[in-house]
């Protein structure tokens, strides 16, 4: 196997790889990632998006991925592999590149059907978390509680602070905002609102509660002409245990239905039992699951605190 910088791929080869990946997301999940992959291909051609292709002996791509840096966090953008050997080599290569530039964290989302990736991430010391992908028809959602309103552009700058406080005490492994810094939450909102890797942001199907300091939000994107996606639900700690999360989800699904989207989907962390119960009670059912992987850097490899009287080494 041979490594190739994906920015040197001929346009036809890259377009074919992205089209193949797009077909997977569409046929398995109903996602239309064509607009996102157009942005990816444009950025690739401009040299702004690094990526790796593992080529088999016959020269054909056996695995590929592109990755991006948001601040100091390296995110593996999308990943595909035909064999476990190619998948493992691909992951090792990207992680080595991220280590070389002293990234503060590396995050990845592994979709089903990428052999070798989760195994290699585990071997490299990543924390792994299963995220369930749930779906529900929107037909049954017809409530919009009085305390909830549609999101407006002026709310967007307040979202990072809401997410930061909503996730402050969470223990789940998340590939986004891995260190929980303000800059990371801003990058997260930017990804959600301004890029098309998780559908097109629908401000008029997204809802919030509270004043300028938001108490809660449920943000919706459109994954295709018929599918809405609940890309983020958050409730501030002081506004919890009043059923606000449930009312936000119901209002967002109702707004999505009113905009002609017949199905709504979402990801939930496998260890977030409270949220899983909520979605189960609202009629969401599981379809498939993904693996999210995170490794924060630099990580202490060996603690020599005892031997040196307080000093430790970091790799």
Instruction: Provide, rounded to whole angstroms, the least separation between the CB of residue 305 and other proteins.
Output: 31
Instruction: Provide, rounded to whole angstroms, the least separation between the CB of residue 310 and other proteins.
Output: 32
Instruction: Provide, rounded to whole angstroms, the least separation between the CB of residue 307 and other proteins.
Output: 32
Name the site residues for other proteins (rule: CB under 8 A): 2-5, 31, 33, 35-37, 39-40, 42-43, 45-50, 52, 67-72, 74-78, 93, 96-98, 100-101, 103, 109, 131, 174-176, 188, 190-192, 194-199, 219, 231-232, 266-269, 290, 292
Nearer to other proteins, 35 or 115 (CB): 35
Phi-psi group of 92: left, alpha or beta (phi > 0 → left; psi -120 to 50 → alpha; rest → beta): alpha
Instruction: Provide, rounded to whole angstroms, the least separation between the CB of residue 197 and other proteins.
Output: 3
Instruction: Provide, rounded to whole angstroms, the least separation between the CB of residue 136 and other proteins.
Output: 17
Nearer to other proteins, 96 or 142 (CB): 96
CA dist list (Å): 170 to 21, 167, 173, 235, 237: 32, 5, 9, 12, 11
Taking the C-alpha atoms of residue 73 and residue 201, their distance in angstroms, rounded to an integer, is 23
Determine contact, residues 237/216, Cβ cutoff 8 Å: no
* Adjacent-strand bridge partners of 306: none
Taking the C-alpha atoms of residue 38 and residue 19, their distance in angstroms, rounded to an integer, is 10
Cis peptide before 272 (omega within 30 of 0): no
Nearer to other proteins, 231 or 248 (CB): 231
Taking the C-alpha atoms of residue 266 and residue 109, their distance in angstroms, rounded to an integer, is 15
Nearer to other proteins, 143 or 225 (CB): 225
Determine contact, residues 35/42, Cβ cutoff 8 Å: no
Instruction: Provide, rounded to whole angstroms, the least separation between the CB of residue 49 and other proteins.
Output: 6
Nearer to other proteins, 65 or 239 (CB): 65
Nearest CA to 147 among 204, 218, 237?
218
Nearer to other proteins, 97 or 128 (CB): 97
Instruction: Provide, rounded to whole angstroms, the least separation between the CB of residue 302 and other proteins.
Output: 25
Tokens of 234: 């958050």
Nearer to other proteins, 69 or 258 (CB): 69
Instruction: Provide, rounded to whole angstroms, the least separation between the CB of residue 268 and other proteins.
Output: 7
Supply the DSSP string of 133-186, one letter for each residue: EEEEESTT-----TTEEE--GGGGGGHHHHHHHHTTT--S--SSSTT--HHHHH
Nearer to other proteins, 140 or 182 (CB): 182
* Adjacent-strand bridge partners of 290: 131
Taking the C-alpha atoms of residue 152 and residue 212, their distance in angstroms, rounded to an integer, is 11
């Amino acid at each position: 196997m041979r490594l190739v910088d994906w920015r040197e791929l001929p346009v036809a080869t890259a377009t074919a790889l992205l089209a193949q990946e797009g077909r997977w997301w569409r046929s398995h999940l109903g996602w239309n990632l064509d607009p996102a992959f157009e942005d990816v291909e444009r950025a690739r051609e401009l040299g702004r998006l690094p990526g790796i292709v593992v080529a088999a002996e016959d020269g054909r791509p056996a695995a590929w991925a592109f990755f991006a840096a948001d601040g100091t966090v390296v995110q593996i953008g999308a990943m595909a592999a035909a064999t476990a050997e190619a998948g493992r080599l691909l992951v090792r290569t990207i992680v080595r590149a991220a280590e070389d530039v002293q990234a503060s964290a590396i995050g990845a989302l592994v979709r089903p059907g990428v052999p070798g990736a989760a195994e290699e991430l585990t071997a490299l010391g990543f924390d792994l978390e299963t995220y369930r992908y749930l779906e529900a028809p929107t037909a049954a959602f017809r409530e919009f509680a009085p305390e909830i309103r549609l999101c407006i552009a002026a709310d967007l700058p307040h979202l990072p602070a809401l997410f930061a406080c909503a996730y402050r005490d969470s223990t789940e492994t998340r590939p986004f905002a891995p260190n929980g810094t303000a800059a990371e939450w801003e990058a997260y909102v930017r990804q959600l609102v301004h890029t098309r890797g998780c559908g097109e942001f629908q401000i008029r199907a997204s809802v919030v509660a509270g004043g300028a300091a938001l108490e809660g939000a449920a943000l919706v994107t459109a994954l295709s002409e018929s599918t809405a996606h609940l890309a983020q639900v958050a409730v501030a700690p002081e506004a919890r245990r009043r059923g606000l999360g449930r009312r936000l989800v119901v209002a967002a699904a109702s707004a999505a239905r009113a905009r002609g989207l017949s199905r709504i989907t979402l990801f939930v962390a496998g260890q977030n039992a409270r949220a899983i119960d909520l979605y189960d009670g609202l009629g969401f059912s599981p379809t498939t699951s993904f693996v999210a992987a995170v490794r924060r850097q630099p990580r202490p490899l060996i603690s020599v605190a005892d031997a040196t009287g307080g000093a430790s080494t970091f790799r």
